[in-house]
A and B are shown apart, each in its own frame.
Chain A
């Protein structure tokens, strides 16, 4: 079956612009996670959705970052007024409810802010 997909695979934008990153989880997975991975670092937790609601958004670095999952499937991570420090690979993972051991990662979106 299809795995987690993310679009776009690469996004180059200018400082101050708005970007949207999309994640399409594995069908039937109710848990969805967003991570950010900078060069030489491990994935850094951003936000977790259980169904449509954000169960934990404590990893979002500031109010420029926002994520939605309106129908409990596809999720969009939105970044306003992008800064050069936002440049990273944004990873999405999905899983079954009740256990982090079932997370499956998508290929990621590489965001470059010029």
Chain B
């Protein structure tokens, strides 16, 4: 079982719709959860972090966390063509030496159709 799993997509949504991106993780001890956006040929950019169960909203983005189900999601409201990118879910996991390292999923490619 992969540590962080995402559907690779592509996920296609029409402009203005809600895009829903999902991620599951295997390490029950994980405490921090992140969503990164990565445009083609660019490096990942952190867009959301969430640490507690429930929802966290930032503009058009909402991250949702359910630790009991080991599930984290990202909702993008009023999707725009500029949101078209790969969205990487990342979870902190235990690294050697006791520090928390980040493990990434393979990413979900989102296409927003004008």
Is B82 interfacial (CB-CB < 8 Å)? no
- A43's partner among B95, B97, B104 (CB-CB below 8 A) is B104
Given the interface pairs A50-B99, A56-B95, the reply to whether A105 lies near B34 with Cβ below 8 Å is: no
Residues of A near B103 (CB, < 8 A) are: 45
The docked-state distance in angstroms from the alpha carbon of A43 to that of B49 is 17
Residue with the highest number of chain A CB atoms closer than 10 Å, among B42, B100, B101, B106 = B101
Given the interface pairs A42-B107, A43-B44, A108-B43, the reply to whether A103 lies near B102 with Cβ below 8 Å is: yes
CB neighbors of A among B1-50 (8 A): 4, 8, 32, 34, 42-46, 49
Which of under 10, 10 to 19, 20 to 34, or 35 or more describes the interface residues of A? Answer: 20 to 34
Is A40 interfacial (CB-CB < 8 Å)? yes
Given the interface pairs A56-B95, A58-B96, the reply to whether A91 lies near B107 with Cβ below 8 Å is: no
Closest CB in chain B relative to A84 CB, distance in Å: 21
Does A44 lie within 8 Å of B104, measured CB to CB?
A: yes
Which of under 10, 10 to 19, 20 to 34, or 35 or more describes the interface residues of B? Answer: 20 to 34
Does B8 lie within 8 Å of A40, measured CB to CB?
A: yes
Q: Annotate A55-83 by CB proximity to B: 1 below 8 A, 0 otherwise.
A: 11010000000000000000000000000
Closest CB in chain A relative to B21 CB, distance in Å: 13
Residues of A near B34 (CB, < 8 A) are: 100-101
Does B43 lie within 8 Å of A100, measured CB to CB?
A: no
Is A106 interfacial (CB-CB < 8 Å)? yes
Does A58 lie within 8 Å of B95, measured CB to CB?
A: yes
Does A105 lie within 8 Å of B44, measured CB to CB?
A: yes
Does B46 lie within 8 Å of A55, measured CB to CB?
A: no
Residues of B near A40 (CB, < 8 A) are: 8, 106
Q: Kindly report which residue of chain B lies nearest to residue A41, judged by CB atoms.
A: B106
Q: Annotate B91-114 by CB proximity to A: 1 below 8 A, 0 otherwise.
A: 010011101111111110000000
Q: Annotate A21-47 by CB proximity to B: 1 below 8 A, 0 otherwise.
A: 000000000000101000011111100
Q: A41-B106, A91-B43 are in contact. List 9 more A-B contacts (CB 8 A).
A: A45-B103, A55-B99, A56-B95, A100-B32, A100-B101, A101-B49, A103-B46, A103-B102, A105-B44
